[in-house]
Amino acid sequence: MVFDREPGEQLPFHDREVDPAHAGAAEPSRDARIRHLQRVPLFSGFEESDLRRVSDLARIVELPAGSVVTHIGEPGDSFFVLIDGTVTVRTPVGAGSQLHPGDFFGEMSLLDGEPRSATIVAATDLRLLIVDRAHFWRLMDETPDLIRSILTILSRRVRSLEQTVHAMVHGTNPV
């Protein structure tokens, strides 16, 4: 069973991606949003003006443990940065790696327009920064450091995946 639930049990956000109208907490003030962003390593080199730009193009949402944030095979329209909490990633080959504060996800569907490549479930209560498709490319254009970070992490994920596939095919650990 992929999800941490009984068959047929409906998790919050089961039918849709995260929608702030259904999330637990009110949107924090701009100052509070920037204080959250200052804690995220992904934005560590950012000037205050860059953080303000991120804050203006994104929103912050809190979700309870068990929420399904992305569904494999479904269309995806948001990019997520994990501010607080842990999520579990289920891919067709990976059995449940975890992402932690400062990690991001959801970039692949925005980059290539394909459906979600993984199901991501909140292992704990979460605080997420969410950037919608409409703002994603503007954010990329305006913050080249973010592009570099995303490319670096994507490269690591490809390497990790190649090692996993190698181990599956050969039944050994790759060198």
Binding site for ligand CMP (CB under 6 A): 70, 76, 89, 91, 94, 97, 105-109, 116-118, 120, 157, 161
d(CA 12, CA 4): 12
Nearest C-alpha neighbor of 117 from the set 158, 72, 159 = 72
Shortest CB 35 distance to ligand CMP, Å: 25
- Residue 26 or 93: which CB sits closer to ligand CMP? 93
8 A C-beta contact, residue 111 and residue 146: no
For residue 173, count CB atoms less than 10 angstroms from its CB and return exposed for 0-12, middle for 13-18, buried for 19 or more: exposed
8 A C-beta contact, residue 91 and residue 32: no
- Residue 34 or 97: which CB sits closer to ligand CMP? 97
- Residue 67 or 109: which CB sits closer to ligand CMP? 109
Shortest CB 53 distance to ligand CMP, Å: 22
- Residue 14 or 35: which CB sits closer to ligand CMP? 14
Give start and end residues of each alpha helix (H) in 12-106.
Answer: 30-38, 48-57
